[in-house]
Structure 1
Amino acid sequence: MRHRVDGLFQQTAHSPSFFELSRRMGDHGGQLVDFCIPCNPYFPTPDMFDMLARNLEAVLKFYPSDADTIAGQLARVLGINPATIAMSNGSTELITWMDHLWVRESIAIPIPTFGRWTDQPMETGKRVDMFPLQEENGFALDIDAYLRFIHARGSRVAVLCNPNNPDGGYLPRREILRFMDELSHLDLVVIDESFIDFVEVERNPSVGAEAAIRPNVVVLKSLGKNFGLHGIRFGYLVANPGLAGKMRRTLPKWNLNSLAETVVFMLAEHGEAYRESLRLLARDRYTMGMELALLPELTVYASQANFLLVKLAPGLNGTELRDHLISRHRVFIRECGNKLGMSNQFLRLVVRPEQDVARLVEGIREYTHPQWHQQQQQEASIRSLPVRNIS
């Protein structure tokens, strides 16, 4: 099976899709446990999926409403002014159009981070000013050092991801507001809050409300990551009515699909289930972090997102571990060797329930200590043999 999937990891700075990998794996694809794509495993609920399944024929058969109608309903659910949002077919669509509309010369971005923030402007010939986060500081972003960097480079657009991907580092809301205040002279300041709903150390971490009344700030949101529905592809931005309106006029009128519309209209009735999903995920993040920290070959970084960044001990190869986990344990992880500012010693592992983590840990132990693991299996096999009573 291994030769079927090898080429998938050499074609792009991003991981292959779950579907593509499953197809290559054939009959084994249905057994794949996904620790790669940042998703919410507890939402939508089974009842919501049942409702979607019952309505699937109508959802797929009929044309969706226009984007303004769907965005208007989302604004009502969120309790925000519909004039301050623009909804898109995935947050990467908004990153693409922000680059075309508002990034004229240069853009500053800390690295490592989500690859489209560096790749997209480089593809259109902009200067990308990369501010390296330091491993010895746990990849924590020093706001003052980043501000000095932006001023020294003369960057006209600045991006800050909070929490950051792939390390899950989080900055308090007051620091983000200070960052926005210091850069009021720039063409644009983008705060990417794709993972903000997973934050538990602060009650109201988002700065979306402040972005809506500032002249040059856009806050980016990703509903697919929060709601566990990457396949639907929907995200949105929050900005002042002028910026948000310009984005709405730029996007196609029917850029959202009927599944996205159906889910948005379901959200009002399932807010409590969504909040419970975030509570369960925070619990799993803690227990998963503790389990991984018990492995001496791993360094686990603190995270406020729905994933954990880990580093392998010297001499261990993340690419080999990734391939081992896929081929031997049907576990799919994100090895970060193709991320700017990282190496293949780093892995991003999505938070999953306890039974899935046990499978991941078993695979890592087998890779790091194959002889010990073989002995454990032999001992378990002996213990399972029936005991014969000799008298």
Structure 2
Amino acid sequence: MSGSVDLALLRNGAHSPSYFALKRGSSGHRREVVDFCIPCNPYFPTKDMFEGLRENLVDVLKYYPSDSDTITKELCSTLGLNPATVAMGNGSTELITWIDHLMIRESVAIPVPTFGRWTDQPLETGKRVDMYPLLETQGFRLDIESYIRFIRERGSRVAVICNPNNPDGGYLARHEVIRMLDRLTDLDLVIVDESFIEFVDAEPYASVADQAAIRPNVVVLKSLGKNFGLHGIRFGYLISNPAIAGKIRNSVPKWNLNSFAEVVVFMLKEHMQEYQHSLRLLSHDRETMIRQLRSLTGLTVFPSQGNFILVKLPPGKDGRDLRDYLMAEHSVFVRECGNKLGTTSQFLRLVVRPHADVQRLMIGLYTYLCAPSVPQAEVISTHHTPDLRANPRPGRRRAPVQQLEAAPVYRLPGGNVA
């Protein structure tokens, strides 16, 4: 394949490079990079929504947005929330920063591995971070009773959980989270980061946001970029009782949200049916992708309720080498987890994507892990993804996607099926 990519971009820094950095670091004629690194909804926004954004591009770039209160009220109207209990931020990481500065005074407990800003942000401001290890032998599942004992033993004043957790996708049922909130009413703050909760299909109502709005010490954090497929806009929100939400809302800059965020928020109400349909499609893709990954000999695949899947490579295989190989030979961008506390370079986090993209990932994984030489995979059936604009079905979004066809199957050398 002609062209090259600067692999140093993948090897330097504590975070994966941006898509723009990868494009700048690539030269020659290459296939477009398929992004299995950044967790983003591939089915939303719709083509019609993108066309609407293009039509508004000049105004979006030329004019100031409304203040954040105006945008927040519209979001709350769409999602059925009380604006007094909501504060919006320029991405969930901005809200993590404000929570740390305003509400974490001395110590915070956090299970690891998890989203790095929950450990890095308080460490940067001199707080004590009590890290509770999630065990691989237990599938990285969080045991609530054990975590509460850990918090009591350490004397932590703030507790955090991510549900589903990142990078493993582990999910705690709503009743378990509520039980934890009931047991930790004496803490300064309990934070439930629900950045990936929209992708959960284990139960029809997974969030504890309704609890946060009426409890004295609970904050629920939400990301909009991940579930709405728009990381570049940088918008998110938190839900808590009016006193906490008001404290955060009064601290963030008045114009902390940009015009792109405003235009999208005011478009959402007309497109919620397509959005719910996109979640059903992604849920189906996750189930299929997990099944395909488990067909690869030696690869450990962890259960997930997020829009990503954690895998562990067999002994003797290194995720850094595989990451570089997939990018250089297949133009596939994956997240190697060696720099995440609680994991090693044997782990990869793979974002759930449509089947056509997974084909390329599976061929790359097979050639690296199983094949003595690079094989040519024979596609013996294909997958059709329905047009999202074609009458997405109303009703509860967790209903099965009956119209989807079977997953693609690959006949690889030696008779193996991926």
Q: Same fold (TM over 0.5)?
A: yes
For 1:59, the equivalent position in structure 2 comes to 60
For 1:18, the equivalent position in structure 2 comes to 19
- In structure 1, what is the Cα distance between the partners aligned to 2:121 and 2:23? 28
SS in 2 for 1:371: coil
Task: Indicate conservation of the 8 Å contact 1:110/1:132, yes or no.
Answer: yes
Residue 80 of structure 1 deviates from its aligned partner by: 1.1
- In structure 2, what is the Cα distance between the partners aligned to 1:41 and 1:295? 24
- 2:213 is the counterpart of 1:218: no
SS in 2 for 1:333: strand
What is the TM-score with the length of structure 1 in the denominator?
0.94
Residue 373 of structure 1 deviates from its aligned partner by: 3.1
For 2:150, the equivalent position in structure 1 comes to 149
Give the aligned residue type for 1:97.
W
- In structure 2, what is the Cα distance between the partners aligned to 1:212 and 1:219? 9
For 1:88, the equivalent position in structure 2 comes to 89
Task: Indicate conservation of the 8 Å contact 1:301/1:309, yes or no.
Answer: yes
SS in 2 for 1:34: strand
Residues 181/375 of structure 1: CA separation in 2 closer, same or farther (3 Å cut): closer
1:251-298 deviation digits (Å, cap 9, x = unpaired): 000000000000000110001000000000000001111111100131
Task: Indicate conservation of the 8 Å contact 2:5/2:27, yes or no.
Answer: no
SS in 1 for 2:26: helix
Task: Indicate conservation of the 8 Å contact 2:5/2:26, yes or no.
Answer: no
- In structure 1, what is the Cα distance between the partners aligned to 2:139 and 2:208? 24
Task: Indicate conservation of the 8 Å contact 1:132/1:341, yes or no.
Answer: yes
- 2:135 is the counterpart of 1:134: yes
SS in 1 for 2:25: helix
- In structure 1, what is the Cα distance between the partners aligned to 2:182 and 2:302? 29
Give the aligned residue type for 2:6.
R
Task: Indicate conservation of the 8 Å contact 1:2/1:323, yes or no.
Answer: no
SS in 2 for 1:206: coil
- In structure 1, what is the Cα distance between the partners aligned to 2:223 and 2:326? 29
1:89-133 deviation digits (Å, cap 9, x = unpaired): 000000011110011100000000000000001111110000000
Residues 157/28 of structure 1: CA separation in 2 closer, same or farther (3 Å cut): farther
- In structure 2, what is the Cα distance between the partners aligned to 1:138 and 1:3? 35
- In structure 2, what is the Cα distance between the partners aligned to 1:257 and 1:30? 32
Give the aligned residue type for 1:199.
V
Segments of structure 1 that go 5 or more residues without pairing to the other structure are 378-391
Matches within 5 A, 1:45-56: 45-56=46-57
Give the aligned residue type for 2:310.
L
Matches within 5 A, 1:1-391: 4-12=6-14, 14-27=15-28, 31-374=32-375
Residue 9 of structure 1 deviates from its aligned partner by: 2.6
Task: Indicate conservation of the 8 Å contact 1:22/1:28, yes or no.
Answer: no
Structure (1 or 2) with the greater helix fraction: 1
Cα RMSD over matched residues?
Answer: 1.3
- In structure 2, what is the Cα distance between the partners aligned to 1:10 and 1:180? 39
Residue 4 of structure 1 deviates from its aligned partner by: 1.9
Segments of structure 2 that go 5 or more residues without pairing to the other structure are 379-418
- In structure 2, what is the Cα distance between the partners aligned to 1:9 and 1:100? 31
Residue 10 of structure 1 deviates from its aligned partner by: 2.0
- In structure 2, what is the Cα distance between the partners aligned to 1:30 and 1:314? 31
